[in-house]
Amino acid sequence: MKYALVTGASRGIGKAISLRLAAKGIPVVVNYLKNKDAAEAVVAQIQEAGGMAELLPFDASQPSEIEKALDAWEEAHPDDHIYILVNNAGIRRDNVMFMMSDDEWHSVLDTTLNGFFYITRRLLKHMMPRKRGGRIVNVASLSGLKGLPGQTNYSAAKAALIGATKALAQEVAPRGVTVNAIAPGFIETDMTKDLAEEELRKLIPMGRFGKPEEVAALVEFLVSDGAAYITGEVININGGLYT
């Protein structure tokens, strides 16, 4: 059976993606780090709707945790494999650069960029052999395309993720694996609730923040058979703010 692994899936965009994929009949592995109650609620919501889901906690910035968790999952699923990977885990530690601490810099890059590397490298071992194929979607950001003040760390991590997407797509295309990135703008999630939404809306041609479900719909398409010839792309979803 082909599974989808969504990292950082206990809330926001990750939650919406998990619900959307499960509604299409795809079994979903819901990853989380700290918020177990919220992650369990996502799994329960999927199961109540008739879908399949299970929890897989690990810290995306810690390679040993990732290896241990995926080893255990594969042991429990000898006849299954993860065909879809959505690298969504990420954190914000905003600060102006001259006041930014080492921890604020490294923690953001460790989760977003290094997490992508550790998890994707591990799962490619099973996507690549025998042209089994796979779908990888990396959740980047508007910040990684245009840069945003106070987010040098976050912008650096997301911009690097975009570059990695383009390079990896070329490496794995012969094996039937597609790799794409999406770059959401301002989306209604916990990560944006501390922003000045009233003012920011004025900058967005559509005049509103996006919804997690709209981002999830894009991911659903990119992991479908209909998107089998799309790879190495970065797709904006920002209401026209940056095109």
Helix 152-172 to helix 102-109 angle, to the nearest 10 degrees? 30
Q: Catalytic positions, please? A: 154
What distance in Å separates the CA atoms of residue 216 and residue 227, rounded to the nearest whole number? 15
Backbone angles phi, psi at 235, to 5 degrees: -105, 120
What distance in Å separates the CA atoms of residue 8 and residue 11, rounded to the nearest whole number? 7
Q: What is the largest CA-CA distance in the chain?
A: 52
What distance in Å separates the CA atoms of residue 30 and residue 147, rounded to the nearest whole number? 30
Separation of first and last alpha carbons in the chain: 38
The tally of CA atoms less than 13 A away on the side-chain side of residue 112 is: 28
Torsion over CA: 77, 126, 221, 19 (sign): positive
What distance in Å separates the CA atoms of residue 188 and residue 211, rounded to the nearest whole number? 6
| Residue 53 CB burial class (10 angstroms; 0-12, 13-18, ≥19) | buried
